[in-house]
Amino acid sequence: PSGVPAPAPGGELRFGPGVPVTPPPAPPWPTAPPIRPRPVWRRVVSVLSTLLTAALLLTVGLYLWQRLRPMEVEQVSVAANRPAGVACDVTVDVVATVRTNGRAGTIRYQWFRSDGPPGAVLTERVGSGQHTATLTLEWTFSGVGTTVGTATVNIIEPAPMQAGTRVRYRCPGG
């Protein structure tokens, strides 16, 4: 014959190897090996490592929070150191004690006296670890007579706060 294949039943003409009747079987899916539980000592080490890391992060966080917190004024009190007995022409030290949280910073303050205009705005530097600062006003009295005045310290920064005291002067006439 002529090299042409004979027609298949039904009049179809096929060339080549043809289409297989059934597809080849698919390769089996790979299966993972069964998961073995980790040994107990590995689990204990993992838990301890996690706890140690959390404790370390907490410690570092608290340390930084304490170090980076700004200075705060917690309390202010004022007292006058009066000279002993009755004295004329004296200077009275009025002392404000400022209690802080121990952080470093600057206190801006101003003294007010009942007998005159407000004083200048002053500053006091507070070092780290220093929990008190002393602010002093020297108030000079002279002459004969009796007077009662008030001295008030006004904390401007880091937060507004005030405290005051009465100052009594008495000089008998002679």
| H or E element in which residue 92 lies | strand 90-100
Task: Read off the pTM.
Answer: 0.61
Q: Alpha-carbon distance 158 to 98, whole Å?
A: 12
pLDDT tens digits along 6-28: 666 666 666 667 666 677 788 88
Q: From CA 52, how far away is CA 115, in angstroms rounded?
A: 64
User: Does 122 score more than 80 pLDDT?
Assistant: yes
Q: Which residues pair with 122 in a beta bridge?
A: 109
Residues 6+ apart with CB under 8 A from 7: 13
Tokens 């404790």 belong to: 55
pLDDT at site 36: 85
